[in-house]
Amino acid sequence: MSSHVIPLDEKLVQFFKLEKYRSIIAQAALMGKKSIQVDFADLLAFDESFANDLINNPLRDLPVLDKACMKQLQIEDPTYAATVEEFHVRIVNLPATTPLREVRSSHLRKLVMIDGLVARASAVKPILKTGRFRCRYCGTTYDIEQDIHRLRQPDRCETPSCRSKRPSFELMPEESKYVDYQVIGVQEKPEDLPPGQLPRVIEIRTRDDLVDVVRPGDRVIVVGVVQSAQERGVEASLRTFRLFLDAVSIEVASKEPQAIHITPEEEMEFQEMAKDPNIYVRLRDSIAPSIYGMETIKEAILLLLMGGRTKVFPDGLRVRGEINILLVGDPGTAKSQLLQYVASIAPRGIYTSGRGSTAAGLTAAVVREKNGGMVLEAGALVLADMGVCCIDEIDKMRPEDRVAIHEAMQQQTVSIAKGGIVATLNARTSILAAANPTLGRYDPLKIFTENVNLPITILSRFDLIFVLRDEPNPEQDRKISSHIASLHSIGLPVVSPPIPPEKLRKYIAYAKRIEPVLTPTAMRLLEEFYMKMRAMYETTKTVSITARQLESLIRLTEAHARAALKEQATEEDAEAAIELMKKSLSEVLTDVTGAPDIDIIYTGKPKSIRDKIALVIETIRKFEEQQGYAADHELRNELMQHGLTKEEIDKILVRLITEGTIYSPRTGQYKVA
């Protein structure tokens, strides 16, 4: 063994004498680091047989590498080398990534690379590295190097005068050496999950300068040695072991969609695609091609996938660039299919249903470990960071659980304070939500907030809200039925999408790298539209539109520019954003008169309706004081003089009687209840 190690040790010192690693080591010493990263490809180029041997015998070869690196550190910076006891080599970029669910017993004591999501992280604790033990009989001390699994004590006392037959030693904690230690759980990424399978989690044990490098929700690439530990607590566990990874290096993979690898050829192809004047139509028609129609909603979803520019101001204030959309509609209008499609096409998409989601499942949970410690587990919104979280049936969530998503929708963080853990996690995610109307079908006679069982606080955080109504329309119905019939008979869409899903995903990831800036003319257009909306309701003294709507317009404009890979968001983009906003407002914010009224979103009732209802009740009261009741024809004549139409009076009277505000003692007479 020794004849093998010495020449190898010397040879590896030559590796660290390469210009690249000399400067890396010098830099590490300057910054006070305890390790350097070594690219596996460099080792392979330097000594192929050693590199291959390292994968199969990491426990033997890694200390040799550390030793060779330490020798070079002593040359580069002798002063710093004298202060550190150990200097580690962190191997990165192995040739192949092992899928998390394929780590088997054949990988034991070998070097592997896995990637996944950090689902939980324990607190950092000290672990014994070298234990100093004292003999209880004669007081002689022994230093024992510790291994991974259990506490190692001296076998017996070596002092000739003692030679105790019954070895009895006590650990001297204050004279022993410790190293930081943390356990993290890494789970499979949502996109790598086979359908219908639960995500697997593998335990990663980190120590020294690898602790606290990652947080729950981070995507990581871990290189480590596969080890096994005996299972405890189960009777049959004497022969069963569980696998874990002893981390050699941990890198936080880029959380951006930029992490998707795009070749220069693809880049050129995307630039060519963007020059097509019909690019928006092609992109829109590529979204959920098996769902017929819904052009406006698909266009909005395209902009949600693109997203606007996130801005961080000099004072640290962060304004979200992500777009949130709510779809409200009758059953059978393909809301769930749209959501599931978006979750599959988004560079990072997670689908969840409101009925099965709790506040902890959406945000983060504090879980008690077996050994009594508390760990943080990331929920859906944290795992969808930098992606899209699709929440179906958001109206079915328990109100106390729904409150949890308020913060994620506006501030884009998830704050948690439980069990002694106080943390803020990133949840920079777009939310695409779907809800069913309260009474099963959307009632156009009622205002929007009466149709949807959602609080105003959540509704105002959506940039766009669309109502999907299932109304009989012979021509439309014929088109939909022939579309469905052809889908079922052939099993393939009649029209294949203009852009295949895989290419669309890459196009979106590429487009998200562009940071479009609004031109002064585009900004002026948005401001004019905003001012118009404010002015429209000045007469009715209602706050028609808030700064949130202006921010939404800016986000939509930037997303529209991104879709065509433009560096500048022009008037054309601003007009498209205004058009979408108008369509969204026209569906949601119409009162009984048919005029859009954004006050519905903020107070639950449109200003004009509230005024008219108040007028009707006041008039009935007036007649009641005069003659004891309000006669139908007199009431109607009086109200028509105040500008109400026959249809409006009918709707308001029916509504007030239904609500129990007024009643009819006999036909043609009204009284206030």
**Residue 259 confidence class, pLDDT cut points 50, 70, 90:** low
Q: What is the mean pLDDT of residues 316-325?
A: 84
pLDDT tens for residues 326-373? 888 877 777 788 888 888 777 677 888 777 677 777 777 777 766 666
Number of neighbouring beta carbons within 10 Å of residue 188: 22
pLDDT score for 490: 61
CATH architecture for residues 264-588: 3-Layer(aba) Sandwich (3.40)
Q: In a 3-state reduction of DSSP, which class is residue 530?
A: helix
Assess whether the region 2-92 and the region 607-672 belong to the same CATH fold.
no
Q: Please, what is the end-to-end C-alpha distance for the chain in angstroms?
A: 99
**Residue 1 confidence class, pLDDT cut points 50, 70, 90:** very low
How far apart are alpha carbons 121 and 143 in whole angstroms? Answer: 31
Q: Say whether pLDDT at 489 is over 70.
A: no
Answer whether 487's CB lies under 8 Å from 290's CB. yes
How far apart are alpha carbons 434 and 444 in whole angstroms? Answer: 18
Closest CA relative to residue 397, chosen from 346, 447, 363: 363
Of 246-250, 460-464, 477-481, minimum mean pLDDT range:
477-481
Q: Which fold has domain 100-253?
A: OB fold (Dihydrolipoamide Acetyltransferase, E2P) (2.40.50)
For the chain, percent of residues with pLDDT exceeding 90: 0
- The first and second tokens of residue 379, run together, are 């929920």
- By DSSP bridging, strand 374-378 and strand 111-121 are antiparallel
Q: Which residue has the tokens 């490809």?
A: 41
**Residue 80 confidence class, pLDDT cut points 50, 70, 90:** confident
- For residue 434, the surrounding DSSP H or E stretch is strand 430-435
Helix then strand then coil, in percent of the chain rounded to 5, is: 45, 20, 35
Q: Say whether pLDDT at 493 is over 70.
A: no
pLDDT score for 600: 52
Q: What is the mean pLDDT of residues 186-201?
A: 76
Phi, psi of 33 (to 5 degrees): -85, 160
pLDDT tens for residues 274-287? 888 888 888 888 88
| Residue-wise DSSP of 273-318 | HHHSTTHHHHHHHTSSTTS---HHHHHHHHHHHH----EE-TTS-E
What's the DSSP call for residue 600?
Answer: H
pLDDT score for 393: 84
- For the chain, what are the domain ranges? 2-92, 100-253, 264-588, 607-672
pLDDT score for 5: 44
Q: Say whether pLDDT at 574 is over 80.
A: yes
**Residue 592 confidence class, pLDDT cut points 50, 70, 90:** very low
Phi, psi of 189 (to 5 degrees): -75, 145
Answer whether 494's CB lies under 8 Å from 483's CB. yes
**Residue 591 confidence class, pLDDT cut points 50, 70, 90:** very low
| Residue 495 vs residue 311, higher pLDDT | 311
Q: Which residue has the tokens 């979280």?
A: 389
Q: What is the pTM of this model?
A: 0.66
Partnered with residue 468 across adjacent β-strands are 329
Q: What is the mean pLDDT of residues 532-558?
A: 68
pLDDT score for 486: 67
Question: Is domain 2-92 in CATH 3.30.1640.10, yes or no?
Answer: yes
Residues 283, 285, 287: CA angle, nearest 5 degrees = 75
pLDDT tens for residues 503-522? 888 888 888 888 888 888 88
Under 8 Å CB-to-CB from 462, ≥6 apart: which residues? 324, 325, 326, 409, 431, 433
Q: Say whether pLDDT at 626 is over 60.
A: yes
Q: What is the mean pLDDT of residues 464-488?
A: 71
Q: In a 3-state reduction of DSSP, which class is residue 146?
A: coil
pLDDT score for 541: 40
Q: Which residue has the tokens 């150990």?
A: 86
**Residue 500 confidence class, pLDDT cut points 50, 70, 90:** confident
Q: Is 334 left (phi over 0), alpha (psi -120 to 50) or beta?
A: left
Q: In a 3-state reduction of DSSP, which class is residue 265?
A: helix
Q: Say whether pLDDT at 184 is over 70.
A: yes
Closest CA relative to residue 257, chosen from 387, 116, 429, 380: 387
pLDDT tens for residues 89-115? 888 888 888 888 888 888 888 888 988
What's the DSSP call for residue 94?
Answer: -
| Residue 337 vs residue 234, higher pLDDT | 337
Q: What is the mean pLDDT of residues 41-67?
A: 84
Q: Say whether pLDDT at 542 is over 60.
A: no
pLDDT score for 491: 54
How far apart are alpha carbons 241 and 169 in whole angstroms? Answer: 29
Across 26-30, 240-244, 276-280, 321-325, which has the greatest mean pLDDT?
A: 321-325
Q: What is the mean pLDDT of residues 626-632?
A: 82
pLDDT score for 88: 85
Under 8 Å CB-to-CB from 318, ≥6 apart: which residues? 310, 311, 312, 411, 412
pLDDT score for 176: 81
Q: Say whether pLDDT at 596 is over 70.
A: no
Q: What is the mean pLDDT of residues 582-595?
A: 61
Buried-state track 408-441, b at ≥16 Cβ within 10 A, e below 16: bbeebbbebeeeeeebebbbbbbbbbbbbbbeee
pLDDT tens for residues 125-169? 888 888 888 887 777 788 888 776 677 777 777 777 776 656 677
Q: Which residue has the tokens 């960071």?
A: 385
What HEC string does 241-261 produce? Answer: EEEEEEEEEEEECCCCHHHCC
Answer whether 516's CB lies under 8 Å from 284's CB. no
Q: What is the mean pLDDT of the chain?
A: 78
Q: Say whether pLDDT at 389 is over 80.
A: yes
Q: Which fold has domain 607-672?
A: Arc Repressor Mutant, subunit A (1.10.10)
Q: Say whether pLDDT at 311 is over 70.
A: yes
Q: Say whether pLDDT at 195 is over 70.
A: no
- The first and second tokens of residue 225, run together, are 């040695």
- The first and second tokens of residue 598, run together, are 């954004």
Q: In a 3-state reduction of DSSP, which class is residue 219?
A: strand
Q: What is the mean pLDDT of residues 56-60?
A: 86
Q: Say whether pLDDT at 599 is over 70.
A: no
What's the DSSP call for residue 665?
Answer: S
pLDDT tens for residues 445-466? 666 777 787 777 787 788 888 8
Closest CA relative to residue 458, chosen from 409, 500, 419, 491: 409
For the chain, percent of residues with pLDDT exceeding 70: 84
Of 232-236, 292-296, 632-636, minimum mean pLDDT range:
232-236
pLDDT score for 3: 39
CA 473 to chain CA centroid, nearest Å: 39
